[in-house]
Amino acid sequence: MNKITIAIDGYSSCGKSTLAKTLAMSIDYSYVDTGAMYRCVTLYALENGIIKNDQVDKESLVGQLDDISISFQHSEQSKESDAYLNGVNVEETIRGMDISNHVSQISIIKEVREKMVAMQQKMGKEKGVIMEGRDIGTVVFPDAELKVFMTASIEVRVKRRYDEMQAKGLHVSVDDVKENVLSRDYEDTHRKHSPLVQADDAVVLDNSDLSEEDQLNFMLKLVEQRT
């Protein structure tokens, strides 16, 4: 079976990562969480004083982009790929609310997106990769053989995000989570560079009422059709 490139885009907290990971394990593909890459840059900016009083020093960040190394390594404990920032495992750190509240400010910066896109294209050049994010099917891999655009109702997305954070021991209110999700939606769809849009040839997957098994079967059928 010929391997292809699979691009999964969509709104935050739609379950893109969960589906992409499960699908990757099912068909033995590599998985890349591009959102984690922007979270890594955000963490770097916070740790190095580039974000102060909720403001990003764009000039400083752009000047230090070459000092940022991001990679993914398989974890024997979680059986998944953990994000590493300059050689340090930051998988848990980048999922916190502080990162979520600032990542949109980082992801709108043109130079940041250009660097991340170049890294992503290098990771996926050999095919057999599932990459999920906001601009994979439109910017990173516009020629991907399979593009899927995921969405779900705001109520479902907020509950998923809230449950996820509670499970990790991060205590936040539902209202805070909803505000963050809506804010990220606006930033993602209104940014000047590589906004979140549905590719013309993408298959829409609204998983508001679908189980993880239903979603996986849906994707497996699509993959079979494309290969």
CA distance linking residue 141 with residue 156, whole number of Å: 28
**DSSP secondary structure string, 76-140?**
TTTSSEEEEETTEE-TTGGGSHHHHHHHHHHHT-HHHHHHHHHHHHHHTTTS-EEEEESSIIIII
Query: Domain holding 31: CATH number?
Result: 3.40.50.300
Q: Is 1 a residue whose pLDDT tops 70?
A: no
**DSSP secondary structure string, 209-223?**
T--HHHHHHHHHHHH
Residue 30 near residue 129, CB atoms below 8 Å = yes
Q: Cα Rg for the chain, rounded, in angstroms? A: 17
Count of the separate structural domains present in the chain = 1
Q: How confident is the model at residue 165 (pLDDT cuts 50, 70, 90)?
A: confident
Q: In this predicted model, what pLDDT tens digit does every residue of 169-227 receive, in sequence order?
A: 888 899 999 999 999 899 899 988 889 999 999 999 999 999 999 999 999 999 999 98
Distances (CA, A) of 159 to 62, 107, 170, 181, 208: 35, 24, 14, 11, 11
Please tell me the pTM assigned to this model.
0.81
Q: In this predicted model, what pLDDT tens digit does every residue of 29-59 receive, in sequence order?
A: 988 889 899 999 999 999 999 999 989 999 9
Range of the domain at 148: 5-226
Q: In this predicted model, what pLDDT tens digit does every residue of 95-123 receive, in sequence order?
A: 988 998 999 899 999 999 999 999 999 98
